[in-house]
């Protein structure tokens, strides 16, 4: 009898221990045992401006400029090397950087010495999108190499893994291969014990927002690549409606990196870009050359009130409240119960927009502030009317 109950006790303890283990390893939103990306990651990535021209000197210059421009103090932290750094593997299978990056550990030390963090890029496939060596079959080794270099962020880009997925005998089997590939790298990163932000890049396929957090993603691209044009930026940004419920602290929707400062859009269009990304609680990875910024670009990237919306501690992504032809209103609820409200004009000429604060849930008079113009609009009742420039936005912060 005693033997029987102690066996039962042992079995029960084993069961509880395994449940606890499962709970710990499957906790969504954490690539690592330690939480990272409590607010959407902020930093810079090499791809949009430099593409294959990235090298050690570029990264050092971007780190220097992130500090001297005031971006670091505004909250930008990650300096991320995208594709084309990879040389290939040695006889032991260890990945090495090519001649553009003579000493990755020294580079990481340099970036860290500036009070910043450093990111890198790979693919679950044998090849990256630019045709360089991916991590396929070497995930543990690569994660260990990144940790030894001092890497703090990994963008993991599906690319060539899609060729492998073609061998699956059904879409469901192909999806499982992809999810498993992301989980394999998640586990490899966890084994290093180093907190590393884990960024999925697979262009939003298979409703990635539904499964990425439980596969360890701290952020996941919801779309194909952005470029520095209003039509592409707007198609991506305004196309994010409906995804809000999938995001939150340590697990964010990623509508791709910023193009601000690359020169393809005008001031109103870049304000739309920045405002939408802030309302979307999007990661803010600048994609321009930080070492050659105009004051206007610095102001766009470092506007404190806009960044406060993006980085709001509640981590509640906003969404589309209404659309009437090219006039859209997007709203995000913030931790202090105020609301960020974007009045967007997608038309190619100015339009008169209006918002009825009662419809947004405000009962009495509200206090509104025009964020980009840093102007208190005072106390107002019900309806606010304003002319919004072509492709532009009026971004408000509204309090009861």
Q: Report, in Å, the least distance between residue 73 CB and ligand GLA.
A: 27
The DSSP symbol for 176 reads H
State how far the Cα of 334 lies from the Cα of 331, in Å rounded to an integer.
10
Name the β-bridge partners of 201.
Answer: 157
Contact flag: residue 82 with ligand GLA (CB under 6 A): yes
Contacts of 347 (CB under 8 A, 6+ apart): 325, 326, 327, 390, 391
Residue the block writes with tokens 């594709």? 83
In the bound state with ligand GLA, the residue whose beta carbon lies nearer, of 123 and 184, is 123
Could you say which residues in the range 26-55 bind ligand GLA, by CB under 6 A? 47
| 360 alpha-carbon distance from chain centroid | 27
Could you say which residues in the range 198-237 bind ligand GLA, by CB under 6 A? 201, 225
Q: Work out how close the CB of 374 gets to ligand GLA at its nearest, in angstroms, rounded to a whole number.
A: 33
Could you tell me which residues come within 8 angstroms of residue 23 by beta carbon, excluding any fewer than 6 positions away?
none
Site string for ligand GLA, 248-287 (x = CB under 6 A): ----------------------------------------
For residues 152 to 191, the per-residue mask of contacts with ligand GLA, x marking binding by CB under 6 A and - elsewhere, is -----x----------------------------------
Q: Which residues lie across from 322 on neighbouring strands?
A: 329
Task: Give me the active site residues, please.
Answer: 157, 225
Convert residues 92-131 into a mask of x (bound to ligand GLA by CB under 6 A) and - (unbound).
Answer: ------------------------------------xxx-
Question: By C-beta, is 112 or 127 nearer to ligand GLA?
Answer: 127
Helix axis angle for 295-302 and 267-279, nearest 10°, is 20
Least separation in angstroms between residue 258's CB and ligand GLA is 12
Are 263 and 228 within 8 A, CB to CB? yes
* 79, 62 contact by CB (below 8 A): yes
Contact set with ligand GLA (CB under 6 A)? 47, 82-83, 128-130, 157, 201, 225
């Amino acid at each position: 009898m005693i033997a029987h109950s102690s066996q039962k006790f042992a079995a029960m303890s084993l069961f509880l221990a395994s449940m606890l283990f499962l709970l710990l390893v499957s906790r969504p939103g954490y690539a690592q045992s330690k939480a990272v990306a409590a607010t959407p990651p902020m930093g810079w990535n090499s791809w949009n401006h430099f593409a294959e021209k990235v090298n050690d000197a570029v990264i050092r210059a971007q780190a220097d400029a992130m500090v001297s421009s005031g971006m670091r103090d505004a909250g930008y932290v990650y300096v991320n090397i995208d594709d084309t750094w990879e040389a290939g593997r040695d006889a032991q299978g260890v990945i090495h950087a090519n001649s553009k990056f003579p000493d990755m550990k020294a580079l990481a030390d340099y970036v860290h010495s500036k009070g910043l963090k450093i990111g890198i890029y790979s693919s679950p496939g044998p090849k990256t999108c630019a045709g360089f060596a991916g991590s396929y079959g070497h995930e543990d080794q690569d994660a260990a190499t990144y940790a030894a270099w001092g890497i703090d962020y990994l963008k993991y880009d599906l690319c060539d893994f899609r060729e492998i997925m073609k061998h699956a005998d059904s879409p469901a089997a192909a999806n499982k291969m992809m999810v498993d590939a992301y989980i394999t790298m998640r586990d490899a990163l966890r084994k290093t014990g180093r907190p590393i932000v884990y960024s999925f890049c697979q262009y939003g396929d298979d409703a990635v927002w539904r499964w990425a957090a439980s596969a360890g993603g701290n952020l996941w691209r919801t779309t194909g690549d952005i470029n520095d044009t209003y039509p592409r930026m707007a198609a991506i940004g305004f196309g994010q409606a409906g995804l809000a419920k999938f995001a939150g602290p340590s697990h964010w929707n990623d509508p791709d990196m910023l193009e601000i400062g690359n020169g393809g859009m005008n001031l109103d269009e870049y304000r739309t870009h920045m405002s939408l990304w802030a309302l979307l609680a999007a990661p803010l990875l600048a994609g321009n050359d930080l070492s050659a910024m105009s004051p206007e670009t610095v102001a766009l990237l470092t506007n404190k009130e806009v960044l406060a919306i993006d980085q709001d501690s509640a981590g509640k992504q906003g969404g589309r409240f209404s659309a009437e032809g090219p006039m859209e209103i997007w709203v995000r609820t913030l931790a202090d119960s105020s609301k960020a409200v974007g009045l967007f004009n997608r038309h190619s000429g100015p339009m008169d927009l209006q918002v009825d604060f009662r419809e947004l849930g405000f009962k009495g008079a509200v206090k509104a502030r025009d964020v980009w113009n840093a102007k208190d609009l005072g106390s107002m009742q019900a309806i606010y009317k304003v002319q919004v420039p072509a492709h532009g936005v009026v971004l408000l912060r509204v309090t009861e």
